[in-house]
Structure 1
């Protein structure tokens, strides 16, 4: 007999029934005693109450979450406060409060609840092998301006209309009643036998009010837990220009550099994702890594000279798992439906250089990069790396940034094998070493970049960069672009800023107005030539094509004062805000 005191009178009915059922069980045995004690514990009672309130909140419009990205909104507020924190103590206090880990943990918990990342995920109930009756479920959804959030297809083996996918966060997903693999028998009382997905779409478009589905549930395909993976997109995508997407209205458009929350990778060709920070909870379709890599490979084979990095929308393989095209560039023979679906020139060598290997870099196929937030740590500031074409002004920006606070912003002293001049000081102008010593250190991988000029070796030591970081300074580098392969590591965690020139006419106009001196000629001071201006544009485009996936930020150096202001803001963010970095850097 299980004794229940008066304190359990308001317990959850499910707990009460479980306790009552123990009366029919022989009380002897440790397992029964343990279960009885567990079901009467205050901790379990409190957890059940919290769960019930969360579930009830989702059914009550008064408590429906206004957004599911409170953490992202807070980061936007932090960025705004950074510009005004010095105005008053209240702003400064609010800035510190919002950066406290306990407050951010609350926001993360809020977002997890808003995204319904708390439901238990139990194994599917197996169907009875000897049960000859087919289980049917009736699902009713209210039609509104919001798409129902599911796609359908014709099953290749049976010819039946089935649910191809359910979009995370959509109406169908929130109902918890429609799953991928469910067979559609009727829609609003109309049989879909021998009908195509387009026919079903017409039925849905002509329906008003409540839509009733008669479905045969698929027991072999249950729902999947929402993924926590975040990726940075390394290309632009417009679903309206993609002829192979199962439904254009289900597509998610994004720009290069956007951070995407991948909520499902169940489909080999089409992932479900949201833009990080979006207030829309319904996910959209994006090409998977495998699909996009195939497209880029096909594009490069078709046009190896392409330099703009624009993604190909013509695939050499099956473009979607719902219905695969038979030829690389032919339209898909059958469309799935969303429920409902609305209608080089040679670049002049610079002093600091490493062996060029564009063939290796060309093999990089940038699609998505898994990322995670890296939180700033006091005394360990990420290096700021300025990269750009020769003549674009990155070295001048580096000098001006350092001049704003020479004790804070520091550039490493370069190494050289050339003889020391009388006016030079070892360790201040250069670190002078023998050629043999420098060649050995280069072979040992101790230099992030190195090169030879007039028979002498020059280079930047990785140890000198780390020494600046360990001393609490902000290391500022402006290496040759191919040094990025050595710099962008989990050991250094750099923040890479691409310095881009303005359009050619503005480049010429601004440099002439500023009486800028050419950096292509080391022997004499003169103005840039027209060919050199063109070289800057062409080289910049090539750098962006080969290494753009590494860049954290882009600054157009149209006017030095404006570019410096943007650079200072970027330097502040690196020191004070959590930023997205390759996931391997924080593991």
Structure 2
């Protein structure tokens, strides 16, 4: 039995390899040594050494020694010309590739683009072929100086969202002057920018020097001018912010309910750091640390650095101020509707994946006379087993031949009024003393049966429909521009109602109001210029629902 076999398991597995080998050698020599040395003293010394080598404390000391000895040694590549070596190997094995399977396999591996690119990258790193060349850190540091860090970054020339070059001069960070001391501080670090990727610059760090120029008593504009004149690399001397927080990237996804262009924003801290977007785009919010300016990037665009966007609080303040200014230009009825609507800023969204047997109801919204009834009629005719029309309720008695549940759901007036007061109806109205309405539970019943209801509700019913149970897909049916609108309606004379000039004016005015007030609730817009083309466009959008995941309010998927 060897000496190591007598050790506890925890010690055997932590023994230093060199000590284990030495113990093994002594264990092999032990019988001969004990035979040749009959005196007790040498044998005791031998056993004592063996016991010492087996002690956990000695193993720990040896390991610490090895760590200290090798930790500062630079790891150097074995070769810096692996591409040339690979070519030579390929020339050697090529004649043998037809006869020896291993040679054929090796030749195939060395000729693959991935392996060749990997070896080329290895040689570039091994040869230190870096561009641009980084300067050496300055060695002269005053002993009286505070604890400082020197950071070298490569000036960014990345492309931002609008296709222009990123002219943000501080390589992914913005600066500000401290209101009390006047010191230049790092105001924010943009996620995905050079400063963020370096991990060396933090919010609150004090900028002391830029490229050897002392920036104390200088304004942020002076510092930006220095940075703009820098070529390739920028060297910062910074006093670290002692209480820097740990910043974790947020996982929040928001749908923008308005369009934003930072170049038109006079209040943004740095226009070049802004992120432009259009209404309906999904944004990945990476930081909400600032009360008024969030950092975001566009979803599925991981290569783009984050940019500044107005926070929900800031945008709400702007919209309220804009509404106050516009109130005087609206008539009283329009102003009342306008003031009641919520302020559209951002909507929390998540992905809703297609589910077999579940169809999202199709909601057609649009101004009066735009053709929603005809579009619904044609959609229902496409697939009667899938698309359905929700049967309304009424308080009038059934006429001859009418069947309950097929023509209408017949109910008492008192029951309908009570249900309307309880909020059980999507919409309702009264005609010739009788109440008509669409009950919400009827829509849900169609969905649960595997049908896809097609609805043409009043626009104010959108908020009632946008629930986790219904999950509607809202299509806005938009009229074409005025000239084409008049022409297209004249072409359908005989098949639809006749329109007057005032009808066209009212349709266009209502179109503008609907888009302004409710445009953020529309999933897609279809222009009803030609009824056949419009039906085809809607059919394509419905097919897309069956195949692709959709961004919907996050509450719908919880």
Q: Same fold (TM over 0.5)?
A: yes
- Aligned mates of 1:412, 1:489 — CA distance in 2: 17
The yes-or-no answer on 1:458 pairing with 2:429 is: no
Cα shift at 1:301? 1.1
Q: 2:516 aligns with which of 503, 524, 545?
A: 545
Partner in structure 2 of residue 536 of structure 1: 507
Matched position secondary structure for 2:426: strand
Query: 432-441 or 556-565: which moved more?
Result: 432-441
- Aligned mates of 2:313, 2:260 — CA distance in 1: 15
The yes-or-no answer on 1:136 pairing with 2:127 is: no
Partner in structure 2 of residue 259 of structure 1: 282
8 Å contact 1:448–1:461 — kept in the other structure? yes
Judging changes above 3 Å, is the alpha-carbon distance between structure 1 residues 257 and 144 closer, same or farther for their aligned structure 2 residues? Answer: closer
Q: 1:161 aligns with which of 165, 184, 189?
A: 184
CA-to-aligned-CA distance 1:359-385 (integer Å, 9 cap, x gap): 6633x1111111111112222221111
Matched position secondary structure for 1:303: helix
- Aligned mates of 1:221, 1:392 — CA distance in 2: 58
- Aligned mates of 1:508, 1:359 — CA distance in 2: 29
Q: 1:152 aligns with which of 170, 175, 188?
A: 175
Matched position secondary structure for 2:327: coil
Judging changes above 3 Å, is the alpha-carbon distance between structure 1 residues 406 and 6 closer, same or farther for their aligned structure 2 residues? Answer: farther
Judging changes above 3 Å, is the alpha-carbon distance between structure 1 residues 517 and 527 closer, same or farther for their aligned structure 2 residues? Answer: farther
8 Å contact 2:16–2:59 — kept in the other structure? no
Q: 1:580 aligns with which of 537, 551, 554?
A: 551
- Root mean square deviation of aligned Cα: 2.7
Q: 1:409 aligns with which of 387, 394, 397?
A: 387
Cα shift at 1:465? 0.8
- Aligned mates of 2:17, 2:538 — CA distance in 1: 62
Partner in structure 2 of residue 299 of structure 1: 322
Query: 471-480 or 426-435: which moved more?
Result: 426-435
Q: TM-score, normalised by structure 1?
A: 0.68
- Aligned mates of 1:184, 1:306 — CA distance in 2: 50
- Aligned mates of 1:207, 1:516 — CA distance in 2: 72
| Unaligned 5+ runs, structure 1 | 10-21, 28-131, 308-343, 348-355, 519-525
Judging changes above 3 Å, is the alpha-carbon distance between structure 1 residues 423 and 8 closer, same or farther for their aligned structure 2 residues? Answer: farther
Matched position secondary structure for 1:285: strand
Question: Over alpha carbons, which structure has the higher Rg?
Answer: 2
Q: Which has the higher contact order (CA 8 A, sep 6+)?
A: 1
Partner in structure 2 of residue 497 of structure 1: 475
Cα shift at 1:140? 0.5
Q: 2:253 aligns with which of 230, 245, 249?
A: 230
Matched position secondary structure for 1:378: coil
Cα shift at 1:277? 2.2
8 Å contact 1:180–1:223 — kept in the other structure? no
Q: TM-score, normalised by structure 2?
A: 0.71
The yes-or-no answer on 1:284 pairing with 2:307 is: yes
The yes-or-no answer on 1:358 pairing with 2:337 is: yes
CA-to-aligned-CA distance 1:162-196 (integer Å, 9 cap, x gap): 10001000111101101111100000111001111
Matched position secondary structure for 2:347: strand
Cα shift at 1:279? 4.7
Judging changes above 3 Å, is the alpha-carbon distance between structure 1 residues 563 and 271 closer, same or farther for their aligned structure 2 residues? Answer: same
8 Å contact 2:379–2:535 — kept in the other structure? yes
Q: How many residue pairs end up in the alignment?
A: 420
8 Å contact 2:444–2:469 — kept in the other structure? no
Partner in structure 1 of residue 452 of structure 2: 474
